[in-house]
Amino acid sequence: DVAVHPRFCVELADGAAMTLVESQSGEGAGLINGVLDLRLGSASSLTHVIERRFAETALIQRTTARVADAANYRAFVLDGGGRMTRQDLVAELVSPGATAGITGVATLTDRSLVDYHTAIEHRVGPTESHESFRILADDRAVGIFNGRIHIVPGADDSHSQMNTGNLLLSESARINIKPELEIHAEEVTASHGATIGQLDDDARFYLRSRGLSDEQATALLKYGFAAAVFDTMAPGALRDWLTARLKEHL
């Protein structure tokens, strides 16, 4: 039940490779107000995993990744929500050949509030990015996703893709999404897609006809929808741990 204000800075040397895992949880009613600065050197690679779930804790965090030439930044997010979570996640592609990817899922219940604001800044070309984010909201939970792709003047030959898919699991839950494309350069490709829906009754009926209970069928459909975002993650212990945590969240 206290307020903490951590600031971390991670710098990767040229050609370095690193996996950074943030695992955050707590039962108290305090405040976490954090800043994380990531700076990737030439031809470096950073896999950044954020896994969190709170009860009454309020969290505000800004994460900025500055990606140099031929470097690769990949973020994987699993957020179970809490009283209030606000995450700003920014990837700045500042040199030719830089790439970035943001992949995430939020699983919300009770009165959780999760507010995600992401931005991918294409400062030069050629650069490349992709983003996929999903929210599952149940009970009286509220999920917000604002994703922005910005291609500045002169960042020609940049390529970006964003997709967000969301599930409303109760009549009282709310999901607000706003994908943004701001393009000021020529010869680029950029796209976005956004959907909000509910579980497919036909799919649930099919699973029940194969012997599953309604609870099991619902759980399987929710897991399949959420886990799909981690398909791009390299197989291994980290992916196994993250999908196991996803099952616990659900």
DSSP string, 27-40: -SS-EEEEEEEEEE
**Can you give the pLDDT at residue 208?**
83
Confidence of residue 28 (pLDDT cuts 50, 70, 90): confident
Q: Please choose, from the candidates 175, 169, 105, 100, the residue with its C-alpha nearest in 3D space to the C-alpha of residue 133.
A: 105
DSSP alpha helix (H) spans, the chain: 201-209, 214-227, 237-249
| Cα-based torsion angle of the residue sequence 34, 54, 132, 73 in order, rounded to the nearest 10 degrees | 40
**Can you give the pLDDT at residue 217?**
87
- What is the average per-residue pLDDT within 73-78? 97
**Can you give the pLDDT at residue 76?**
97
Residue 162 C-alpha from the chain's centroid: 11
User: What pTM was computed for the model?
Assistant: 0.93
- What is the average per-residue pLDDT within 137-148? 96
Question: What's the half-sphere exposure (Cβ side, CA atoms, 13 Å) at 236?
Answer: 5
E strands within the chain? 3-4, 7-12, 17-26, 31-40, 45-54, 58-67, 72-79, 84-93, 99-108, 113-122, 128-137, 142-151, 159-168, 174-183, 189-197
* pLDDT at residue 80 is higher than 90: yes
pLDDT 10s digits, 177-209: 999 999 999 889 999 999 999 888 888 788 888
Average predicted confidence (pLDDT) for the chain = 93
pLDDT 10s digits, 212-240: 888 888 888 999 999 999 988 989 999 99
**Can you give the pLDDT at residue 97?**
97
**Can you give the pLDDT at residue 202?**
85
Q: Please choose, from the candidates 211, 229, 117, the residue with its C-alpha nearest in 3D space to the C-alpha of residue 167.
A: 229
- What is the average per-residue pLDDT within 85-111? 96
* pLDDT at residue 102 is higher than 90: yes
